[in-house]
């Protein structure tokens, strides 16, 4: 038996991106919270790419920020380079991505945990978790036992983790940290539905060994946009990134050594990420592709390590050296940290409720890669939701379930708990059927009132948001009511933009809706335009330009929301419902949807099954 070490409302196991947001949210909501990590020097570590954001992931960061989370704020303060991706496409898929100083980011997040009221930050390896009455008991390696009302498993890739480099395999977490083997065994003994996943990372190489003259330079954006509306001083571009390509020689080296790869040598049991494959997987899956792009990215200002994005591999180190040196600009490259694959235990997310509480385990929650997802941003988003719900559980408040129709966070969680995943889940804009409404530019408008209601957003920030929203609405009204008379100056602008000139007065909003035009081009003739913050003008322009499409999508959202409000009892006996097909009975009994809307999204549940459920609900009411 261990000794009693402390009692808390909420305990968070793991201080990665999920654990950080979970612990901060629970503590900020007034719960006595403790967060455990195997090493305080690696809080908020980025064991893979040194960046935050990216396609769809930038949306998640904005939404985390709108709900009162920390990731966007700290990312802005540690940005090395900022770029808005997909600018050549529509605003629905514009996504911010920033290179981050990974060690400074980690140090700042650690300090924020240490400064947070109601939060105890503890370096300790949790080796066992068990239920005792209404409490969860966490036992650490040194014998201390912590009692808590709720617990959040945010273990990342540490549970029974194993590193693979070619023919060599050994128990280890990322970056040489200890694997959580004892805790993995304890979790299995609890009876959680555990599965095995795999991910990987490329080598880190010495900056001075790269011939940058042979590479394509990729600078940051001239106009930088921050992740957080709370950021007052804009980040600066402090570093460049670079691009190079694999070639036929790279391909030859990989194919000749394919059996020495841990993955192709069948030494890995776990399922790898579909959308972030290793370089050997790319070569095998796309044999006709002549070359594959590689981004060379800095890891920080105070390190000479460079990250080779796109060259993840589980090949042996001697082969890694050959394949990297076959690439233009890397002919003399020196590896500082070899690439590796890592496999780990995680939960089948169909075993989770939409609150991220684990079914059948009252007060036990999962967040991040433990839930079968991949990526820092997906982890942080889940951590925030798990932290809020763990706190609400303690306080006897209603749970918070973000809807897929209001956020990418809702889409992420709904996909995981309703559809499950056969490989590490990655957020993409294509996963949302409402992406024109769920843009990153309006994340605050969609979610900040919720963050305020939850108690994670301050009164001052809420009032500032209301002021910006009022500015946007006033500007849209002005654009609809402002008529620009025909003039030589206006028609010159229109002809230059290759759109039809005007012969009579035209409303400003009608001009903005033309694909070729925007606020910037019309500045000289739009003389009544007030001074507005750039983000307000951007949002007004998007909503004016796509008003018809947004209205149509909002109607779809309203219908879906109606179905979400048709609640299903958690203890429903689907076998007793006449008319349901056997497959639907099996799927519904497994997932246990909370609403008709969620039931309709389960694979194997047809519209006819949904109609049967609606009729059954009506009969139950009577």
Are 152 and 22 spatial neighbours (Cβ–Cβ below 8 Å)?
Answer: yes
Is residue 419 domain-resident?
no
* pLDDT for 272: 78
DSSP 8-state assignment for residue 257: T
Q: Is residue 538 part of a domain?
A: yes
Give the separation between CA 574 and CA 596, rounded to whole angstroms. Answer: 13
CA neighbours closer than 13 Å in the CB half-sphere of residue 301: 10
Pair 260, 319 in one domain: yes
pLDDT confidence of residue 620: 81
Together in a domain, 525 and 579: no
Of 578, 587, 586, 583, nearest in space to 611 by CA: 578
CATH label of the domain that carries residue 319: 2.40.30.260
Q: Can you give the pLDDT at residue 593?
A: 93
For 537-576, give one letter per residue: b (16+ CB within 10 A) or e. bbbbbbbbbbeeebeebeeebeebeebbebebeeebebee
Of 135-144, 500-509, 611-620, the least confident: 611-620
Q: CA 556, CA 562: separation in Å to the nearest integer?
A: 10
**Residue 536 belongs to domain with CATH number:** 1.10.10.1800
User: pLDDT tens for residues 290-301?
Assistant: 999 999 999 999
- For residue 618 the two structure tokens come to 């009506």
Helix H or strand E segment including 54: none
Q: Are residues 540 and 586 in the same domain?
A: no
Task: Write down the residue that tokens 């991505």 correspond to.
Answer: 97
Residue 608: domain span: 566-621
Residue 1 binned pLDDT confidence (cut-offs 50, 70, 90): low
Kind of pairing between the strands at 144-153 and 364-366: parallel
Q: What is the CATH number of the domain that holds 601?
A: 1.10.150.570
Q: Measured between alpha carbons, how far is 301 from 304 in angstroms, rounded to an integer? A: 8
- Chain-centroid distance, C-alpha 67: 14
Instruction: Tell me the percentage of the chain whose pLDDT exceeds 70.
Output: 100
Q: Residue 607 falls within a domain, yes or no? A: yes
Q: Is residue 325 part of a domain?
A: yes
Domain boundary among the residues 282, 314, 343 is at: 343
Residue showing tokens 């690696």: 42
Same domain, 473 and 586: no
Whether residue 461 is contained in a domain is answered as no
Split at pLDDT 50, 70, 90, the class of 246 is very high
Instruction: Give the tokens for residue 103.
Output: 């060690």
Q: Cβ atoms within 10 A of the Cβ of 196, count?
A: 15
Q: Are 508 and 514 in contact (CB under 8 A)?
A: no
Q: Are residues 507 and 577 in the same domain?
A: no
> What pLDDT band is residue 488 in, cutting at 50, 70 and 90?
very high
Contact by Cβ (8 Å): 347, 372: yes
Do the domain assignments include residue 129? no
Within a domain: residue 421?
Answer: no
Whether the Cβ atoms of residue 512 and residue 522 lie closer than 8 Å to each other: yes
Write out pLDDT tens, residues 431-441. 999 999 999 99
The runs of H, that is alpha helices, within 102-150 are: 102-115
| pLDDT of 622 higher than 70 | no
Strand order from edge to edge, sheet including 194-201: 168-171, 162-165, 340-347, 194-201
| pTM (2 d.p.) | 0.94
- The HSE-up count of residue 108 (CA atoms within 13 Å, CB side) is 16
> Could you report the per-residue pLDDT of 63-116, keeping only the tens digit for each?
999 999 999 999 999 999 999 999 889 899 999 999 999 999 999 999 999 999
Q: Is residue 590 domain-shared with residue 472, that is, in the same domain?
A: no
Tell me the HSE value of 430 on the side-chain side, using a 13 A CA sphere.
Answer: 2
- Distance of alpha carbon 127 from alpha carbon 142, whole angstroms: 9
Together in a domain, 596 and 477:
no
- Cα–Cα distance, 611 to 602 (Å, whole number): 14
CA distance 195 to 13: 19
Which of 308, 343, 378 terminates a domain? The answer is 343
Q: Do 605 and 482 sit in the same domain of this protein?
A: no
Distance between alpha carbon 587 and the CA centroid of its chain, in Å? 27
CA–CA dist 56, 378 (Å, integer): 10
**Residues β-bridged to residue 99:** 51, 81
Number of domains in the chain: 3
Looking at the structure, do residues 570 and 549 belong to the same domain, yes or no?
no
**Are 298 and 334 in a shared domain?**
yes
Domain finish residue from 319, 343, 367: 343
**Strands 162-165, 340-347: pairing kind:** antiparallel
Say whether pLDDT at 475 is over 90.
yes
Identify whether residues 495 and 517 lie together within a single domain: yes
């Amino acid at each position: 038996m261990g000794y009693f070490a402390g009692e808390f409302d909420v305990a968070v196991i793991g201080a990665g991106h999920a654990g950080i947001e979970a612990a901060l949210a629970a503590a900020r909501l007034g719960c006595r919270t403790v967060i455990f990590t195997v090493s305080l020097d690696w809080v908020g570590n980025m064991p893979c790419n040194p960046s935050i954001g990216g396609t769809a992931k930038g949306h998640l960061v904005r939404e985390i920020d709108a709900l009162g989370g920390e990731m966007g704020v700290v990312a802005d303060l540690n940005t090395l380079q900022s770029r808005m991706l997909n600018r050549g496409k529509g605003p629905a898929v514009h996504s911010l991505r920033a290179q981050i100083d990974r060690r400074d980011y980690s140090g700042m997040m650690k300090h924020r945990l240490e400064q947070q009221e109601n939060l105890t930050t503890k370096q300790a390896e949790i080796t066992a978790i068990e239920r005792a009455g209404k409490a969860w008991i966490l036992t650490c390696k040194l014998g201390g036992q912590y009692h808590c009302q709720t617990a959040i498993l945010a273990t990342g890739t540490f549970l029974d983790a194993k590193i693979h480099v070619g023919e060599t395999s050994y128990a280890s977490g990322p970056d040489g940290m200890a694997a959580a083997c004892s805790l993995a065994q304890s979790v299995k003994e609890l009876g959680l539905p555990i599965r095995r996943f795999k991910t990987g990372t490329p080598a880190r190489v010495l900056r001075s060994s790269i011939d940058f003259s042979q590479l394509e330079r990729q600078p940051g954006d001239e106009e930088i946009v921050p992740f957080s509306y709370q950021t007052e001083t804009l980040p600066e571009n402090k570093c460049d990134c670079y691009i190079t390509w694999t070639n036929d020689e790279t391909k030859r080296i990989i194919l000749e050594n394919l059996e020495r790869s841990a993955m192709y040598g069948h030494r890995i049991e776990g399922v790898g990420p579909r959308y972030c494959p290793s370089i050997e997987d790319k070569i095998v899956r796309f044999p006709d592709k002549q070359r594959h792009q590689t981004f060379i990215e800095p890891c920080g200002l105070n390190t000479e390590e460079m990250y080779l994005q796109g060259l993840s591999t589980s090949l042996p180190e001697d082969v890694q050296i050959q394949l990297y040196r076959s690439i233009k600009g890397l002919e003399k490259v020196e590896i500082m940290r070899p690439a590796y694959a890592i496999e780990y235990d995680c939960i089948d997310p169909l075993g989770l409720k939409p609150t991220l509480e684990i079914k059948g385990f009252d007060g036990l929650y999962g967040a991040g890669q433990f839930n079968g997802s991949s990526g820092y941003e997906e982890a942080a988003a889940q951590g925030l939701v798990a932290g809020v719900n763990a706190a609400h559980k303690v306080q006897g408040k209603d749970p918070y379930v973000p809807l897929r129709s209001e956020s990418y966070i809702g889409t992420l969680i709904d996909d995981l708990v309703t559809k499950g995943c056969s490989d590490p889940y990655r957020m993409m804009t294509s996963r949302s059927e409402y992406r024109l409404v769920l843009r990153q530019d309006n994340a605050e408008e969609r979610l900040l009132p919720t963050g305020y209601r939850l108690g994670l957003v301050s009164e001052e920030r809420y009032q500032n948001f209301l002021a910006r929203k009022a500015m946007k609405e006033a500007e849209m009204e002005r654009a609809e009511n402002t008529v620009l008379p025909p003039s030589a100056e206006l028609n010159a602008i229109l002809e230059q933009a290759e759109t039809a000139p005007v012969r009579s007065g035209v409303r400003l909003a009608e001009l903005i809706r033309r694909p070729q035009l925007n606020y910037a081009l019309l500045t000289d003739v739009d003389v009544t335009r007030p001074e507005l913050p750039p983000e307000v003008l951007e949002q007004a322009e998007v909503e004016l330009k796509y008003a018809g499409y947004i209205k149509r999508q909002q109607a779809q959202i309203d219908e879906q929301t109606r179905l979400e409000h048709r609640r299903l009892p958690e203890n429903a006996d689907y076998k007793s419902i006449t008319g349901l097909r056997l497959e639907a009975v099996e799927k519904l009994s497994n997932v246990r949807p909370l609403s008709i809307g969620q039931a309709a999204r389960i694979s194997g549940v047809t519209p006819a099954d949904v109609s049967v459920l609606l009729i059954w609900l009506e009969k139950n009411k009577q």
